[in-house]
Amino acid sequence: MNNPKLKEQVDSRRTFAIISHPDAGKTTITEQLLLFGGAIRQAGTVKGKKTGNFAKSDWMEIEKQRGISVTSSVMQFDYEGKRVNILDTPGHEDFSEDTYRTLMAVDSAVMVIDSAKGIEAQTKKLFQVVKRRGIPIFTFINKLDRDGREPLDLLEELEELLDIESYPMNWPIGMGKGLEGLYDIHHQRIEFYRPEEYGDQRFAALTDGELPADHPLTKNSIYQDVLGEVELVQEAGDQFDLEKIARGDQTPVFFGSALTNFGVQTFLETFVTIAPKPHAHKTEDGEEVSPYEEEFSGFVFKIQANMNPNHRDRIAFVRICSGTFERGMDVQLNRTDKKMKLSNVTQFMADARENIQEAVAGDIIGIYDTGNYQIGDTLYEGKLKVAYEELPSFTPELFMKVTAKNVMKQKSFHKGIYQLVQEGAIQLYKTYLTDEYIIGAVGQLQFEVFQYRMQNEYNSEVVMTPMGSKIARWIDPEDLDERMSSSRNILAKDRFDQPLFLFENQFAMRWFADKYPNVELKSLM
């Protein structure tokens, strides 16, 4: 446990995900961050949905067809002595369980908000997953170069809708065409939007919170208004509190414009300084493993097939929780107690998937997999013998009945379904009495990926009949009476044969709860 080199390396890791509603600017910011980190040379290489240049993170054919990022990929770069790992999450509204699970592998999250739109539906959903885990969350309010909502109004919405304290790290001076810059509260300086108008200086220092009286910006009434607003939020608002940030109870808020690359570098510099380093992870037994523990351990949070269509490979994404990964090392797989040799492993640079020599707690590695790994698996070295907490399952909201188109091909149909379910691509249920297959998902896109992969990987054409959205609630098997099933709900069982009801809507569920007050209805998360 006493290895200063390991501690130094681990402490330099910043592993986070960016969450947002589609079009808030996640891709644009990611590109700017990668540019600063020297990981890419030109913008437009991460995701080219508008230009037709497909990025390295868009591996699957289906992603190319739809021009969106289905899978959460990983991008790594070094910045000011820190090693930054960005875990991408799909910004599309048809996001899936993958997105949620990726959030289990990060130490913090960055929430991007469009300044004209405020908190949107998907931001809220993702935020809630992050909040439930108590992960620190940073906010970037984007598109300042356009007319948006008043900053005070946005902060208020943040606090009200998301139930979190906010602390403005900086404050916009104007917006849209009238954008002059940022009043940087944290660094006590002004950052100019058009430095050429202010003697080519990007920054001007503040003394007692103000510019020198002869500075040209002081003549601008917007500047005077901002002084008043900043004073107000500093007096009436919450104080900057690193402990609250670490618990996820306060979010530092940055303003900027990703498209014009304004405020992004300030964000990055501040973020790498205050964002948390890798934390200890809980085991099944409720104990914690320190990231400085010398023996290697980690868990699989995602399995991605077909990253390279020529090779049909699968990659198991592992979040390293302790110690050092070394190429060729032997580890133990907790579920099977099998020994595995980690020789074919990759790390994810934005412009090339490079083979790596060493990675430490906080980093993500990808292991080429021939079917040995499952989501939630723990890997460990030597005598460590840990099993990390189970990853949460997410209650699906959309359901489809599914059958094989060709009845002669039942074998490949079953094989495909079971493998994809094991991978966590989709959830599987059966009607309770008749054993018809029902698949469930968090987002519509999961169905499309499922159908595509059944066809392409298992040569099984499937017929899917939409059942629409349902509310899934599990009940204790002892409470089950088949007569409880009605036209407003479907009685089903999950793949562990546990009974559940799929209710048509809230009304049907309340009706059931009123009729059977002693039956407890349970959701997954």
> Is 48 assigned a ligand-binding role in the annotation?
no
> Is 21 assigned a ligand-binding role in the annotation?
yes
Least spacing, CB of residue 60 vs ligand GDP, in Å = 18
Give DSSP secondary structure letters for 235-280: HHSPPP-HHHHHHTSEEEEEE-BTTTTBSHHHHHHHHHHHSPPPPP
Least spacing, CB of residue 358 vs ligand GDP, in Å = 32
* Cβ atoms of residues 240 and 5 within 8 Å: no
> Is 90 assigned a ligand-binding role in the annotation?
yes
> Is 5 assigned a ligand-binding role in the annotation?
no
> Is 182 assigned a ligand-binding role in the annotation?
no
Q: Report the phi/psi class of residue 468: left, alpha or beta, with left for phi > 0 and alpha for psi in -120 to 50.
A: left
Least spacing, CB of residue 260 vs ligand GDP, in Å = 6
> Is 26 assigned a ligand-binding role in the annotation?
yes
Least spacing, CB of residue 50 vs ligand GDP, in Å = 7
> Is 143 assigned a ligand-binding role in the annotation?
yes
CB closer to ligand GDP out of 20 and 270: 20
* Cβ atoms of residues 388 and 299 within 8 Å: yes
> Is 123 assigned a ligand-binding role in the annotation?
no
Which residue ranges make up the site for ligand GDP (CB under 6 A)?
A: 20, 22-28, 91, 142-143, 145-146, 257-259
> Is 12 assigned a ligand-binding role in the annotation?
no
> Is 415 assigned a ligand-binding role in the annotation?
no
CB closer to ligand GDP out of 146 and 414: 146
> Is 208 assigned a ligand-binding role in the annotation?
no
CB closer to ligand GDP out of 9 and 28: 28
CB closer to ligand GDP out of 74 and 303: 74
Least spacing, CB of residue 114 vs ligand GDP, in Å = 8
Instruction: Say how far residue 407 (Cα) sits from the centre of its chain.
Output: 39
> Is 20 assigned a ligand-binding role in the annotation?
yes
CB closer to ligand GDP out of 68 and 384: 68
CB closer to ligand GDP out of 26 and 244: 26
Structure tokens belonging to residue 405: 């188109």
Least spacing, CB of residue 461 vs ligand GDP, in Å = 32
Q: How far is CA 348 from each of CA 183, 271, 345, rounded to the nearest angstrom? A: 36, 21, 10
How many helices and strands in the chain, by DSSP H and E? 12, 30
CB closer to ligand GDP out of 257 and 324: 257
> What angle in degrees, to the nearest 10, is found between the helix axes of 221-236 and 151-162?
30
How many CA atoms, within 13 angstroms, populate the side-chain half-sphere of residue 476? 6
> Is 291 assigned a ligand-binding role in the annotation?
no
Least spacing, CB of residue 99 vs ligand GDP, in Å = 13
Return d(Cα 525, Cα 494) in angstroms, integer: 15
Least spacing, CB of residue 91 vs ligand GDP, in Å = 4
Query: Residue 343's beta-bridge partner residues?
Result: none
CB closer to ligand GDP out of 93 and 249: 93
> Is 187 assigned a ligand-binding role in the annotation?
no
Least spacing, CB of residue 142 vs ligand GDP, in Å = 5
CB closer to ligand GDP out of 23 and 389: 23
CB closer to ligand GDP out of 122 and 451: 122
Nearest to residue 107, comparing CAs of 1, 221, 247? 247
Give DSSP secondary structure letters for 420-477: HHHHTSSEEEEETTT--EEEEESSHHHHHHHHHHHHHHH---EEEEEEEE-EEEE--G
Return d(Cα 470, Cα 488) in angstroms, integer: 10
Return d(Cα 18, Cα 320) in angstroms, integer: 19
Least spacing, CB of residue 325 vs ligand GDP, in Å = 30
* Cβ atoms of residues 72 and 99 within 8 Å: yes
Q: How far is CA 178 from each of CA 21, 81, 233, rounded to the nearest angstrom? A: 26, 36, 22
Return d(Cα 289, Cα 269) in angstroms, integer: 29
Nearest to residue 242, comparing CAs of 277, 207, 268? 277
CB closer to ligand GDP out of 175 and 502: 175
Nearest to residue 281, comparing CAs of 106, 131, 424, 423? 106
Least spacing, CB of residue 90 vs ligand GDP, in Å = 9
* 3-state SS class at 176: helix
Return d(Cα 47, Cα 30) in angstroms, integer: 10
Q: How far is CA 456 from each of CA 58, 152, 403, rounded to the nearest angstrom? A: 18, 51, 16
Q: Which residues are annotated as a binding site for GTP?
A: 20-27, 88-92, 142-145
Q: Which residues are annotated as a binding site?
A: 20-27, 88-92, 142-145
